[in-house]
Amino acid sequence: MTEQAKLAALLFPNSGRSIADYEALYPPRPLPAGAPVTRLAPSPTGFIHLGNLYGAFADERLAHQNGGLFFLRIEDTDEKRETAGAAEALIGALDYFGLRFDEGVTAGGETGAYGPYRQRRRAELYRDVARELTARGLAYPCFCTEDELGEIRASQEAAGANFGYYGLWARHRNLAPGEIERRVGRGEPFTLRWRAPAAAAAVTVQDGIRGRLVLPGNEQDIVLLKSNGIPTYHFAHVVDDHFMRTTHVLRGEEWLSSLPVHVQIFAALGWEHPFYCHTPLLLKAEAGGKRKLSKRKDPELGLDFYRREGYHPRAVREYLLTLLNSDYEEWRLGHPTAPMEEFPFSLARMGSSGALFDLQKLNDVSKNVLAALPPGETADFLRHWAGDWQPEAAAVWTAEREYLAAIVAIGRREANPRKDLVYGTQIFSFLRFFFDPLFTIEDALPDNVGATEARGLLAQYSARYDHAADKESWFAALKRLAAENGYAEKPRDYKKQPELYKGHVGDVSAVIRLALSGRKNSPDLWEVQQVMGEDRVRRRLEAMIQYVGQL
């Protein structure tokens, strides 16, 4: 047995499985040549990042548009950062936004032949690969304590050398076998380090988004296994994406700097590395420039935000497509009703220089998505959302289901449908006046209409109100009422000769609008009345007459 093989046997119990056994256990996938295998590999920290969804959506499109497969792996190696139920919450959130995985972790357990798909359950596999790396002289144990690492750093600082554990600074790189045996025998904790080649040559990698990258070769003896036997991201990435047969790794650009390490480990093991695609950061415009979205400052960075605020999942997905491929919007204009899945997503058209996230833009997309949805579906979506997040809305929307559907349908039959429904909380406050338990007078009478005047107008309007009148005759009657009371029938006339009138028809309708909606602005008044129904209209007019009487 070589010294290295002895060392491997000393450090790691033998499970009886070799890398070759794993190659057989996880054979290349039976997919057509060129079919991408992609994965989402989130860490269950409890905070679900918009970037997760952004990347996941690109992964999903890439796989499903090209006959491939998309799976979910949970990277739960960092127990300290993990929160209870986080993986389940993550799965729920991804599902909510319509992401469908073909295999991996699911709410009901794991599916697929390349698991386990939670890294903590893969400990034996990492250990077996680590043993073989050690036996091949590619890894070694390091017993350095935090204090010793601090000392190395201080000496490097004094010497003006690069930081890290490498070359001559790597104290335990060449420990004598006897010394290692003694330390292991004493139960000293150790990490397993990668034995980086001295003077590594620069690496060239073809990135799916950034094109050809030339990066400095890695000389750092990075940690592969922590002292508790848990792998670092680097090691787990190489082992998992190899044995899960991932073909395309889409991940954030923060991983670019460790790419040389990954390429190096893949090469040393004789494995082909996946096709890397480093996605740009999500940026936010701010006075004077752009900055990275921040967890602390920007609530919209967390996926919870969109559920809590009640964005339709389709709106979020569609918006993310506009961020992923800049020509999406153009495609959408040419294909206004096509399902977004028909858009030919392409990696090559993903920008590499930071995706500018803009809530206003999301709102615009959301308006269009809701305007295109059948009103019944919008109403169902809203009720669902309210059930989870907005009990006040849930109570009234559930009590009057049909009414909600009719409200949502206002102005939607026209060729140019109204686009004022954006997201749950906005819609709730926008529509609350329709529901008696939530109705209040929020705005004031027009400046030129006093309380007594308003009372008179309301009384006449109420007395003559004909719920069966169509829109035109209703409006003609309103103009008559205005004229009889000294208001111009047309705003234009009033503007020309204001001294002749008290105001114009718009002031009269404002009083009625205030009675019915409590506001200065509302959707089309005639439609509002039709949807409210005659009883409700009459009750509100009556209540307003009482109300202005007390002003």
User: Any contact of residue 237 with ligand GLU (CB under 6 A)?
Assistant: yes
CA distance 38 to 127: 25
CB of 134 to ligand GLU, least distance (A): 24
Least distance between ligand GLU and beta carbon 389 (Å):
26
Q: Is the CB of 39 or the CB of 314 nearer to ligand GLU?
A: 39
Cβ contacts of 287 within 8 Å, gap of 6 or more: none
Comparing CB distances to ligand GLU, the nearer of 118 and 251 is: 251
Q: What end-to-end distance do the CA atoms of the chain give, in Å?
A: 100
Given 226, 292, 295, 471, which residue is catalytic? 295
Smallest distance, ligand GLU to C-beta of residue 59, A: 9
Would you state the torsion angle of the CA atoms of residues 336, 339, 344, 348, taken in this order, to the nearest 10 degrees?
Answer: 90
CA distances from residue 273 to 196, 237, 319, 414, 456 in whole angstroms, order as listed: 17, 10, 32, 55, 81
* Residue 43 interacting with ligand GLU (CB under 6 A): yes
C-alpha dihedral, 543 to 547 to 548 to 551, nearest 10°:
180
What minimum distance in Å lies between the beta carbon of 66 and ligand GLU? 19
Which 152-191 residues touch ligand GLU, going by CB under 6 A? none
295 catalytic? Reply is yes
> Which residues lie across from 503 on neighbouring strands?
487
Among 122, 251, 278, 314, indicate the residue that binds ligand GLU (CB under 6 A): 251
Which is closer to ligand GLU, CB of 233 or CB of 547? 233
CB of 241 to ligand GLU, least distance (A): 8
The residue among 142, 221, 149, 140 whose CA lies nearest residue 183 is 142
41 binds ligand GLU (CB under 6 A): yes
Quote the CA–CA distance of 117 and 455 in Å, as a whole number: 70
Residue 42 interacts with ligand GLU (CB under 6 A): yes or no: yes
Number of residues that bind ligand GLU (CB under 6 A): 7
The least distance separating ligand GLU from the CB of residue 123, rounded to whole angstroms, comes to 17
* Nearest CB to ligand GLU, comparing residues 263 and 514: 263
Nearest to ligand GLU of 5, 256 (CB atom) = 256
Smallest distance, ligand GLU to C-beta of residue 15, A: 25
Q: Please report, as a single letter, which amino acid is at residue 524.
A: D
Of the pair 42, 375, the CB lying nearest ligand GLU is at: 42
Q: Given the complex with ligand GLU, which of 83 and 155 has the nearer CB atom?
A: 83
Alpha-helical regions (H) of 390-522 = 391-399, 401-409, 424-431, 451-464, 471-484, 491-496, 505-517
Contact region with ligand GLU (CB under 6 A), list: 39-47, 170-178, 302-310, 335-343: 39-47
Record the tokens describing residue 21, joined without a space: 């056994």
Contact (CB, 8 A) for 404 and 433: no
- Residue type at 313 in one-letter notation: P
Alpha helices in 39-122 (DSSP H): 50-65, 86-96
Query: Count of H helices and E strands in the chain?
Result: 23, 16
Q: Which is nearer to ligand GLU, 251 or 540 (CB)?
A: 251
Between CA 109 and CA 114 the distance in angstroms is: 14
Among 54, 69, 75, 508, binds ligand GLU (CB under 6 A): 75
Residue 49 Cα to chain centre, angstroms: 6
Assigned token pair, 474: 């209703």
Buried b (16+ CB within 10 A) or exposed e, 90-127: bbebbeebebebbbbbeeeebebebbbbbbeebbebbb
Asked if 240 interacts with ligand GLU (CB under 6 A), we say: no
Site string for ligand GLU, 429-458 (x = CB under 6 A): ------------------------------
Q: How far is the CB of 42 from ligand GLU (least distance, A)?
A: 5
Is residue 355 packed enough to be buried (19+ CB in 10 Å), middle (13-18) or exposed (0-12)?
buried
Cβ-based nearer residue to ligand GLU, 47 or 331:
47
Separation between Cα atoms, residue 299 and residue 356, nearest integer Å: 16
CB of 45 to ligand GLU, least distance (A): 8
Q: Which residues of this chain interact with ligand GLU, rule CB under 6 A?
A: 41-43, 75, 237, 249, 251
Q: Which positions are catalytic?
A: 295
